[in-house]
Amino acid sequence: MSVMEAGTPAAGIRGAAATSAETAARETLLSVENITLSFGGVHAIRNVSFEIAKGEIRAIIGPNGAGKTSMLNVINGFYHPQEGLISFRGQERRRMKPYEAANQGIARTFQNVALFRGMTTLDNIMAGRTLKMHRGFFWQCLHWGPALKEEVEHRHKVEEIIDFLEIQAIRKTPVGRLPYGLQKRVELARALAMEPDLLLLDEPMAGMNLEEKEDMSRFILDVNQQLGTTIALIEHDIGVVMDLSDRVVVLDHGEKIADGMPADVQANKAVIEAYLGVEH
């Protein structure tokens, strides 16, 4: 938790949205209950429940194939579980739809970077504002009057995000041409452009070098603290998980095997066995 404490001077900026881990624990932003997801005979997730409190960074860890990404896909509606309930901001549903999830304030990034490769960084991030733009078709085609004003307003917001993530220099570059680390950052920018309440990050640091990881960690903390965004994070780098997250849920073979503070989870016998194998 050392990084979190180091970040506390930022508490003033967080303002009313800011809450310490303890008070946050009371208000649940998202909860999944008894989720079971299978593809034919393969059980990707079995009867998993956990909740994400408002304002926290919640890590989801586990060995490969544990069902972490499937879980994110259930949360933002790409997969529909056979059983279980998802409730977001108190509203219960059997299944989420991607459009609904986006509209209600859930944004995400992808493990294997899903950007609009042919478009520039700027256009990619503007695409994240799709749901925030409302001007009618007619005005848009004219590209004049209210529609132009709207476009300019959103452009301002996007510029703020670009400054925030320090990607000014690549504004006009088609993202397909960017190095991997920067692509990951553009993806984060696009998610932030949605001004989400809940941000799902699927291995934001995979394939990065140490320096890039440090940058990304700093951005994630800044997003959480300055913007008050709740974050669910899948990450393999245990060091990063321990530093960043408030609470950790551990999945293995589709089942939840531990849930708690990073230090407790780290000491948990079942978790150690899942990662290192059991001694026979």
Partner 1 sequence: MDILYQVFIDPFVQMVELPDFFLQVLWEGFVSGVLYALIALGFVLIFKASGVFNFAQGIMVVFAALSLVGLYALGLPAYVALIATVGIMGILAYTVERTIFHHLVNQPDIILLMATIGLTYFLVGFGEFVFGGDPKVMITEELGLPTGSTAFDVLGGLVILQHIDIAAAVIAIIMVACLAVFFNKTRIGRALRAVADDHQAALSVGISLDQIWMIVWFAAGIVALATGIMWGARSDVSFALEIIAFKALPVLILGGFTSIPGAIVGGLIIGIGEKLGEIYWGPLVGGGIESWLAYVIALVFLLFRPQGLFGEKIIERV
**Does residue 137 belong to the site contacting partner 1 (CB under 8 A)?**
yes
Cα 257 to Cα 164: distance, rounded to the nearest angstrom: 37
By CB under 8 A, name the one of 54, 190, 213, 256 that touches partner 1.
Answer: 190
**Does residue 156 belong to the site contacting partner 1 (CB under 8 A)?**
no
By CB under 8 A, name the one of 19, 69, 76, 225 that touches partner 1.
Answer: 76
**Does residue 155 belong to the site contacting partner 1 (CB under 8 A)?**
no
Nearer to partner 1 among residue 99 and residue 275 (C-beta)? 99
> Given the DSSP bridges, would you call strands 230-234 and 57-61 parallel, antiparallel or unpaired?
parallel
Beta strands in the chain (DSSP E): 28-39, 42-53, 57-61, 83-88, 91-93, 106-108, 198-202, 230-234, 247-252, 255-260
Q: Which amino acid is at 90?
A: G
Nearer to partner 1 among residue 115 and residue 258 (C-beta)? 115
Task: Round the CA-based radius of gyration of the chain to a whole number and report it.
Answer: 19
**Does residue 206 belong to the site contacting partner 1 (CB under 8 A)?**
no
Q: Which amino acid is at 160?
A: E
**Does residue 128 belong to the site contacting partner 1 (CB under 8 A)?**
yes
The SS3 of residue 65 is coil
**Does residue 107 belong to the site contacting partner 1 (CB under 8 A)?**
yes
Contact window for partner 1 (CB under 8 A) among 23-31, 40-48, 84-92, 190-198: 190-198
Cα 47 to Cα 255: distance, rounded to the nearest angstrom: 7
**Contact positions vs partner 1 (CB under 8 A):** 76, 78, 98-99, 102-103, 107-108, 110, 114-119, 123, 126-128, 130-131, 133, 135, 137, 140-141, 143, 147, 174, 176-177, 190-191, 193-194
